[in-house]
Structure 1
Amino acid sequence: MRDVIVVGGGPVGILLACLLAERGVDVEVLERRTEPSMLARAIGIHPPSMRVLRQAGVAEEVLARAVRIETGSVQSGGRTLGRLSFAQTTGRFPFVVALPQHETEAVLRSRFRQLRPDGLRSGVGVGMLHDRGHHVDLIAEPSPDGTGDAPDEGADDNGLEIVGSARYVVVADGARGQLRDAVGIASRPLGGGDTYLMADYPDTGEHGSEAVLFFEQGGVVESFPLPNGRRRWVALTPTLMPDASLDDLSALVLSRTGVLLPASDARPSSFSVRQRLAATMVQGRVLLAGDAAHEISPIGGQGMNLGWLDAVALAPALTHALAQPIEARVTLAGYDRRRRRSARMAARQAGFNMAMGRPARGLRLRLRNVIVRVLATPPLNGLLTRAFTMRWL
């Protein structure tokens, strides 16, 4: 029996496993996927997360692969409304790091293999968790044809395949995972509903290494530099556009900003924003982390980073709970209280980000531009920089 099994081998689950392994915890990760996802997903890594990655021993490799974003600007109608300098912030990482999520995952998986060579099992789906009081049994996800491989850990009283047992289980299977609902943890909406389209293009160099927000009449367009001469473009859309082409996104960007994007071989990705928060992140010996606990709008780049901050809080809490069982309930309740509070704060900031990026005309547009100019001037720009780099979480 393991000390801890983490369900979900994404960036949050793997980072948590690294932090636990470094503390001497017998940890295993179960991941349904057999190959990493290459879709356009999270790219921004904020300074607090870089400190976490340094604890995990991967900060230098991430920096070697990534682009450092030291400034950001807000534009509207061809004019610059304001600029933020992340270099003004204190600490060892006075910048935002941009690296595609699949590369970040690769770095973390390599580190976990160093710490626990056999600690990651891919192609293992978990359909249910049974909390037995002193441990948790993980029940295999039913196969589509109703058959499955021979049980790894035997079968439970109902003949269901057990794929693992652990003193604690951390559910980190993402926002679309089913385990949170399966174990009866409710969640409530925190707003959202906006839809976006994004893709990566060759970087023309026009904006250097700066992040740019275009607050235009038709809706926001965001642009972020990436490694290897690429740049991410994201645009608010009136509805979800799952069948949109790259030409559709290019036309949208051109009509709002006047920027003519170069040809690209990327596939656009559409997504709708849904913000939710679990009623609890701790239920018996089952814990939640990352998007399984709190789904936050990706506008502002908080989601993956918020999950990593869960991991850095959960690793010592779990280690203490394992070493001092009599104090486990109080220790883990503290994790639940602090991390859900941070998630609520992040959701409020994400809601503000989305509201600022919605279509605006006439008086509303002028008022929004005035607000941006005020926020981008001292001393408020320092507070805004601190918020956008998640230093308050």
Structure 2
Amino acid sequence: MVEVAQPVRPGGGPRACDVLVVGGGPTGLFLAALLAQQGVDVVVLERRPEASTHSRAIGLHPPALAALHTLGLEEPALAEGVAIRRGVARSRGRDLGDLTFEGAWPDRPQVLALPQHRTEALLVGRLAELRPGALQRGWEVAGIHDDAKGVVVDAVRAPAPEVGDRTPGESTRWSARVLFGADGPSSLVREHVGIRTRRRAYPHTYLMGDFADTTGDGAAAVLHVEPGGIVESFPLPGRVRRWVAHTGAALAPSSPELLTEIVQRRTGQVLDVPSCTMTSAFSVRRSIAERMLGGRSVLVGDAAHEISPIGGQGMTLGWLDALAVAPVVEQLLADGPTGPLSAVASFRELEQARLRAALAAARRAELNMAAGRPLPAWAGVVRNGAIRAALGTPLRDHLARAFTMRGL
């Protein structure tokens, strides 16, 4: 645990709020807006001085759309995104079968493709409506310690050389009844509270990029199940398509030319290199916290459970954390108990349930990765036959439920 002892607010004590959220990504913003909607005095500290413009996570599963509905943001999201109602499995230019989501989600039979920066913008706008000034940008956690009634957080200005109006070493102190760590896989809150994680690295790497959509596949997601490794493509707004290719065990250069070459070699599809707006190479790991509770602090989202991005479950999983924890926090604030949250039965039950859900999501992601790895020719024939058979039977509805996070 790290503590910062110097006075940080001349002439006064810490700034106070009911709930302090560290991390202004999708999970932190969603949780803050959810609490603000219930009248909770909530503040978000975000390290980045400006909003990101990166497309990053793009898939909003039906549970995520239901979550957005609670904030009145489902319709605005649907208006901006692309509704994917059909997924196609393809190999060597021939369709193996397809699946739709009506059986799994009759009320929301689609996965919405929307760049993460637009999802965050919707959440930022809603939070500003509910609690103006709640989002405090440019602050990094320097120390955390519990006091008798809650938690005290010391924060310093995050490095931002391009911003010239900040005082070097500027700091502040916040006092809150509950602290949430929504600050991602490298969570400072998790580090300061002293929560360990169970980590596992996988021998899978991927290269992804966004290009002009020249496929003719419309709003369908396509999984090219090829001998050299899977290639996935998903439509995005503005006639753009996200491509993701398995690149083996060694991380590939983040190059639009390389991704174009891989896609053409495996699928025959020619990408328009000059239209590329983003490429990213990434490896895969699983990191799940041993616990989510530490003192008066709670981990949510990637701070509590980083899983493979293959399958696009991470953001939705974080929002499901938020939906589960918000009513528990509201009850805590109403009842007013002090002491560690682990002494409160409702928090212990929530912790166990959400860690189980994270493990289930991680296992689903592992199956997705295993299905997309390169295979010898004979094994590829067997795999394709199994896919064709599964998509031609009622099992397709079970696959649709798994792909869209039913039951998590």
In the TM superposition, what is the alpha-carbon distance from 1:69 to its structure 2 partner?
0.2
Question: Which residue of the partner structure matches residue 9 of structure 2?
Answer: none
In the TM superposition, what is the alpha-carbon distance from 1:128 to its structure 2 partner?
2.6
1:33 has 2:44 as partner: no
For residues 364 and 231 of structure 1, the distance between their equivalents in structure 2, rounded to whole angstroms, comes to 29
- The root-mean-square deviation of aligned C-alpha atoms, in Å, is 1.9
Structure 1 residues 222, 110: closer, same or farther in 2, change over 3 A?
same
Report the more deviating stretch, 112-121 or 233-242. 233-242
CA deviation digits over 1:349-390, x for unaligned, max 9? Answer: 000000000001133212221221232132211111111111
For residues 364 and 116 of structure 2, the distance between their equivalents in structure 1, rounded to whole angstroms, comes to 22
In the TM superposition, what is the alpha-carbon distance from 1:38 to its structure 2 partner?
2.4
Question: Which residue of the partner structure matches residue 274 of structure 1?
Answer: 285
For residues 333 and 370 of structure 1, the distance between their equivalents in structure 2, rounded to whole angstroms, comes to 45
Q: Give the conservation status (yes or no) of the 8 Å contact 2:208–2:244.
A: yes
Matches within 5 A, 1:3-42: 3-42=18-57
Q: Give the conservation status (yes or no) of the 8 Å contact 2:59–2:112.
A: yes
In the TM superposition, what is the alpha-carbon distance from 1:324 to its structure 2 partner?
2.0
- Number of aligned positions between the proteins: 382
Question: Which residue of the partner structure matches residue 169 of structure 1?
Answer: 179
Aligned residue identity for 1:74: A
Q: Give the conservation status (yes or no) of the 8 Å contact 1:190–1:277.
A: no
Aligned residue identity for 1:348: R
Question: Which residue of the partner structure matches residue 97 of structure 1?
Answer: 112
CA deviation digits over 1:177-222, x for unaligned, max 9? Answer: 3321232101102553411111111111511110001111111111
Report the more deviating stretch, 83-92 or 289-298. 83-92
For residues 193 and 220 of structure 1, the distance between their equivalents in structure 2, rounded to whole angstroms, comes to 15
TM-score, scaled relative to structure 1: 0.93
1:234 has 2:249 as partner: no
Question: Which residue of the partner structure matches residue 159 of structure 1?
Answer: none
Question: Which residue of the partner structure matches residue 17 of structure 2?
Answer: 2
Aligned residue identity for 1:136: V
Aligned residue identity for 2:361: A
For residues 281 and 193 of structure 1, the distance between their equivalents in structure 2, rounded to whole angstroms, comes to 27
Matches within 5 A, 1:186-335: 186-190=196-200, 192-241=202-251, 243-263=253-273, 264-326=275-337, 329-335=344-350
Query: Of 345, 349, 353, which residue of structure 1 is paired with 2:364?
Result: 349
Q: Give the conservation status (yes or no) of the 8 Å contact 1:127–1:179.
A: no
TM-score, scaled relative to structure 2: 0.89
Structure 1 residues 150, 247: closer, same or farther in 2, change over 3 A?
closer
In the TM superposition, what is the alpha-carbon distance from 1:141 to its structure 2 partner?
4.6
1:362 has 2:377 as partner: yes
CA deviation digits over 1:25-69, x for unaligned, max 9? Answer: 110000000112223410000111111100011111111100000
Q: Which secondary structure does the structure 1 equivalent of 2:139 belong to?
A: coil
Question: Which residue of the partner structure matches residue 157 of structure 1?
Answer: none
Q: Which secondary structure does the structure 2 equivalent of 1:268 belong to?
A: strand
Report the more deviating stretch, 325-334 or 355-364. 325-334
For residues 250 and 155 of structure 2, the distance between their equivalents in structure 1, rounded to whole angstroms, comes to 34
Aligned residue identity for 1:361: P
For structure 2, list consecutive stretches of 5 or more residues without a partner in the other structure: 1-15, 162-166
Matches within 5 A, 1:72-221: 72-141=87-156, 148-152=168-172, 162=173, 164-190=174-200, 192-221=202-231
Aligned residue identity for 2:216: E
Q: Which secondary structure does the structure 2 equivalent of 1:231 belong to?
A: strand
Structure 1 residues 371, 23: closer, same or farther in 2, change over 3 A?
same
1:43 has 2:58 as partner: yes
Which stretches of structure 1, 4 residues or longer, exceed 6 Å deviation after superposition? Answer: 142-145
CA deviation digits over 1:291-316, x for unaligned, max 9? Answer: 00000111111011101111111111
In the TM superposition, what is the alpha-carbon distance from 1:91 to its structure 2 partner?
3.7
Q: Give the conservation status (yes or no) of the 8 Å contact 1:220–1:358.
A: yes
In the TM superposition, what is the alpha-carbon distance from 1:239 to its structure 2 partner?
4.6
For residues 191 and 317 of structure 1, the distance between their equivalents in structure 2, rounded to whole angstroms, comes to 33
Q: Give the conservation status (yes or no) of the 8 Å contact 1:18–1:111.
A: yes
Report the more deviating stretch, 291-300 or 243-252. 243-252
Report the more deviating stretch, 176-185 or 237-246. 237-246
For residues 133 and 288 of structure 1, the distance between their equivalents in structure 2, rounded to whole angstroms, comes to 20
For structure 1, list consecutive stretches of 5 or more residues without a partner in the other structure: 153-161
1:60 has 2:71 as partner: no
Q: Which secondary structure does the structure 2 equivalent of 1:80 belong to?
A: strand
Report the more deviating stretch, 171-180 or 299-308. 171-180
For residues 315 and 284 of structure 1, the distance between their equivalents in structure 2, rounded to whole angstroms, comes to 18
For residues 42 and 249 of structure 1, the distance between their equivalents in structure 2, rounded to whole angstroms, comes to 18
In the TM superposition, what is the alpha-carbon distance from 1:13 to its structure 2 partner?
0.3
